[in-house]
Amino acid sequence: MEKKYEKQIENLALSYLKKGRNFDIIHTKYGLDVLRKNKKLLDKDIYKILFLAFALHDVGYSLLDIPPQDYESIKKQKQAHAILGSQEVKNILGKKEYSALLTEDEKNVIQDLVLKHDEVENVAHYTYKDFETGRFLMSLDTLGAFIAIQKGETTFKQEDLEKYLEKETERRGKHIHPMLKGLFDEVVTNIV
C-alpha cells in the first residue's frame, strides 16, 4: 500500500479517535508501529487489510453518545463500538477514493475484522488468504495497549489497569500470533 494512502487513513482514523478515548489514539499508534516493523514479513494484500482494519478498529468509540473512560464502562460498550465502527468503516471504504485501492472482498474483510476485533476467540480463527489475519489484528490491538501501558501512557486508574492487565494477559495472551509472541512476552515482562 502506498505511503500516501497509509497517511491518509491514519489521519482519518485520528480524526475519529480524537472524538473518542485518548487511549485509543495512543494504542493505535503503537499497534501501527508494530505492524510497520513487520511489513516486509507480510504479503502486501495482507498488510493492506491489516493496516486499514487496525487503523480504523476503534472508530466506533467516537460514535457513542458518551465515550467510556473506565474499565467497567468500556466492557459495557465493547459490542456497541464494534457494531458502530464496522458500519462507519463500510461508509468510509465505500467512498470513491478507495475504489481503486480495495476490492469488494477486501472491504468486506476489513469491515468484518472491525466488527469482530474484540471477540478474541472468534477473531483468533479469522483467516484471509490462508493467513491468520484476525489473530494478527487482535495481537496488534493487545500489543498497542500493552506498549502504551509499559510506557506509562495509560488513562486507566491503577485499579482498572490491574484488572485489565490480568484479564487481557490471560484472555488474549494465549491467542497472540506466533510472529508477535516474542514481542508480547517481552512487553508483558517489562510491565510486571
- The CATH code of the domain that includes 60 is 1.10.3210
Mean pLDDT, to the nearest integer, of 65-81?
74
Mean pLDDT, to the nearest integer, of 103-129?
94
Domain carrying residue 8: 3-191
CB atoms within 10 A of CB 70: 12
Q: How many domains does the chain have?
A: 1
For residue 70, the model assigns a pLDDT of 66
CB atoms within 10 A of CB 80: 15
d(CA 26, CA 39): 20
For residue 85, the model assigns a pLDDT of 95
Confidence of residue 153 (pLDDT cuts 50, 70, 90): confident
3-state helix, strand, coil in the chain (%, to 5): 75, 0, 25
